[in-house]
Amino acid sequence: MHDEENNITILKPKPYEEVGIRFIIEGLAPKSWLDTGFGMSNSISLEFINIDGQTFIGTSVYIIADKNDQLESKNRLRFYGVFQFNQFNASFIIESRGRITLKLSGYKEGYQLFIPIIVKIPNYKFKPGRKIINKHGKIGEMILQYERDLKDYNEKIENIRISRQRKNDLAEDDDSNYRYGRNWEVMGSILNILDRSTKGSKKDYPFIEEDLAEKKLKRKYKDAIKWRGPLLHGLVGKMDGFEFRVYSNDHDKHFHVIHKQKRINARFSFPEIKLVNYKNIRNSIRAKDCDKIIAFFKVPENFKKLEEEFQRRP
C-alpha cells in the first residue's frame, strides 16, 4: 500500500453526495498517481460502477495544473472534469436505484479510490431497499476482494495447467506410471460424458487430480468468477480510459484495445504491438494515443503481463 503523502484527495463529489445527470469531478492527485513507468500522464482513469460492481463507463479525468500553482511544488496536481450521463447510461443508474460508485485509479498497483455517490434523474424517484443501501457502501471493498481472489485463482489455475502440461509431455518410453500420447485431454473430456457408474473407465486417466483441483477452485472462487464474467477475462492493463484485453477464443496473436465511452474496439498485434484493424471502423484511435499504447507496452512489467496472458490462452 502507498503512504499518506501519495493519497489522492477528492473535492467533488463527496462520498454519498447527490448529483444530477451533469456534475463536476475535482480533486488533488499526487504525482505518484500519474507515473506510468515511461513518463507522466496528464490524466487519471475514471470508472463508473453499478450496484453489482460492474463497470458501465470507462473514461479519464484530466490534470489542469498551472505552472504557477503552489500545489505543484507540493507534489499534488489538480484534476477537473465535467461529466454528463446520457440515455445509454440510464438503465444502469435505474437498476442501481441511483446508487453508483466512482473509481479513480493511478498507474501503479494499489493506487485507487472508490467514491459512492447518489445520482438523481429528473422526474424519477428512486426507492432503494436497505439491502442496496448497505451494499452501496461496500462496492469498493467487494471489488478489491474479488481482485485478490482472481489473482489467487489465476495463479493456482496456472499451476494446474503446468502440471497437466508436464504429464502431457511424457514420452511413451519414460519411466513413469503414465503411458499415453497427446490425446489424453480429448479423451478426458469424452470420459467425463460417460456413465459415472462405470468407474473402471477412468482408472487410467492421468489428469484426475488436476480436474478435481480445478473444480474445487471454481467452487471456492465462484463469486469472483461470476463478477469477472466473460467480458472481464484477459484484462492486462488500463490507460487513459482504454482497456487492454486478450480473449481466449481469438485464434491468432492479437489483443484488443477497448474504450467503452468512445466505442472503440481495435486489434493490436503481439508481440509487435502494432494496430491491425478495428472491429468497428466507425470510431478510431488517434495517432498520439497509438504512440502512448505502444509506449505503455514497452515497459517490461506491462509487456510481461500481456505475454503471460497469451501463454494462459488454450
- The boundaries of every CATH 2.60.40.10 domain in the chain are 4-129
pLDDT at 177: 38
- Note the pLDDT tens digit of each residue in 136-181: 999 999 999 998 998 898 888 888 888 887 877 653 334 333 334 4
Per the structure block, which three cell numbers stand in for 221?
A: 472462487
Determine the Cα–Cα distance for residues 100 and 102; give it in Å rounded to an integer: 7
Query: Using CB atoms within 10 A of its CB, is residue 155 exposed (0-12), middle (13-18) or buried (19+)?
Result: exposed
pLDDT at 227: 86
Find the length of the chain.
314
Q: Which CATH class is domain 4-129?
A: mainly beta
Percent of the chain at pLDDT above 70?
78
For residue 242, pLDDT over 60 is answered with yes
| Cα end-to-end span (Å), the chain | 34
pLDDT at 3: 56
pLDDT at 60: 84
Among the residue ranges 37-41, 189-193, 228-232, 300-304, the one predicted with the least confidence is 189-193
Choose between 134 and 229: higher pLDDT: 134
Determine the Cα–Cα distance for residues 46 and 36; give it in Å rounded to an integer: 16
For residue 68, pLDDT over 80 is answered with no
- Integer CA distances (angstroms), 34 to 6, 108, 264, in order: 11, 9, 23
Per the structure block, which three cell numbers stand in for 308?
A: 503471460
**Confidence band, pLDDT 50/70/90 cuts, at residue 191:** very low
pLDDT at 5: 64
Q: Which residues contact 46 (CB under 8 A, 6 or more apart)?
A: 25, 58, 59, 60, 61, 81, 102, 103, 104, 105, 241
Choose between 216 and 193: higher pLDDT: 216
Burial 134-154 (b: 16+ CB within 10 A, else e): ebbeebbebbeebeebbeebb
Determine the Cα–Cα distance for residues 154 and 165; give it in Å rounded to an integer: 16
Determine the Cα–Cα distance for residues 147 and 142; give it in Å rounded to an integer: 9
pLDDT at 195: 44
Q: Which residues contact 49 (CB under 8 A, 6 or more apart)?
A: 55, 56, 100, 101, 102, 103, 114, 139, 143
pLDDT at 4: 57
